[in-house]
Amino acid sequence: MKTWFSTYNLLFLSVGLLALSSCKTTYYQSTVSNKQMIAINNSIVEDTAISNYINPYRTQLEAKMNEVIGISTENMIHNRNLPESLLSNFFVDAMMGIGRKIDPEVDFSMATKDGIRSNIKAGDITVGTIFEFMPFENLFVVLELKGSDVLRLADFIAESNGQPIGNAQILIKDKKLQDFKIAGKNIDPNKTYKLITYDFIANGGDHVRGLENPVKKTTSTQLVREGLIDYIQGISKSGKKIESKLDGRVKIIQ
């Protein structure tokens, strides 16, 4: 398994140091002793020893970040105000594909709108695109949930006016749950269902409810970002482009 961030962690740190040593934006910081304001801008002479040391790493980093891993057929724009978007559907559908490689019995996927951090534009998708899309060190998690807890999760999704879900459909009115299905079927409170998500959500992030007491919890060693890169590369190698569609999986009625 490739560990993208581990491999390039030093490169990011090095480039960050270079950015600080040659910053052109003016910032001010007060000293502890006399509260003097010191401008950090391009009037400070760049330390060539540092920049000469960092430049080879920066070149490697830029080459890796600019590596094309796929092509998107259209702009997928991030919009937290929409209950469903091309971008959110792409994300959770990708999670379904990745999740079923981790556990073939995964039933549905879920993310949060706040967890998505950038757009995927039409055209080339690079490694850097995915680092911007998912900048966090999150790991995939498979949760086996009681049906009753799945319904609690559905209540949360409704109260938050919709969240990204894959292989599931939800109907919301006035932020109240009207209906929730997985693969077109109603939830049986006495059955268990497997959810693919990531550790931030599984551990209570974004105030998600219904995940506190899973029947079983399996944390993958794969970062979400790594999984997305591999997923896109897999589609590209099959000769296909990255696509998404709106299908009414998150529907809000008046």
- Domain of residue 144 covers 69-253
Q: pLDDT averaged over the chain?
A: 86
Residues 110, 61 share a domain = no
**CA atoms within 13 Å, Cβ hemisphere of 99:** 26
Q: What is the DSSP string of 74-99?
A: S-B---TT-SS-HHHHHHHHHHHHHH
Lowest average pLDDT, out of 38-42, 146-150, 175-179, goes to 38-42
pTM above the 0.85 mark?
no
User: Residue 247's CB: how many other CB atoms inside 10 A?
Assistant: 11
Residues 58, 149 share a domain = no
3-state secondary structure of 50: helix
Domain boundary among 27, 44, 65: 65
Residues 101, 13 share a domain = no
The 10s digit of each residue's pLDDT in 205-251 is 889 999 999 999 999 999 999 999 999 999 999 999 999 999 999 99
Residues 74, 60 share a domain = no
CATH of the domain at 94: 3.90.780.10
Phi then psi for residue 139, to 5 deg, are -110, 150
pLDDT of residue 33: 57
Side chain identity at 209, as an amino acid letter?
A: R
**CA atoms within 13 Å, Cβ hemisphere of 45:** 3
**Residue 84, CA distances (Å) to 29, 199, 244 in order:** 42, 22, 11
CA angle 244, 133, 229 (to 5 degrees): 75
Rounded mean pLDDT, 85-103: 96
Residues 148, 212 share a domain = yes
Domain boundary among 16, 31, 65: 65
Domain boundary among 42, 65, 88: 65
Residues 112, 208 share a domain = yes
At 32, the pLDDT band (50, 70, 90 cuts) reads low
CA angle 118, 89, 134 (to 5 degrees): 30
Residues 142, 61 share a domain = no
Residues 216, 192 share a domain = yes
In percent, the amount of the chain with pLDDT more than 70 equals 85
Looking at the structure of the chain, the number of domains it has is 2
Residues 168, 76 share a domain = yes
Query: In angstroms, how far is CA 106 from the centroid of its own chain?
Result: 19
Residues 73, 46 share a domain = no
pLDDT of residue 220: 95
Residues 107, 47 share a domain = no
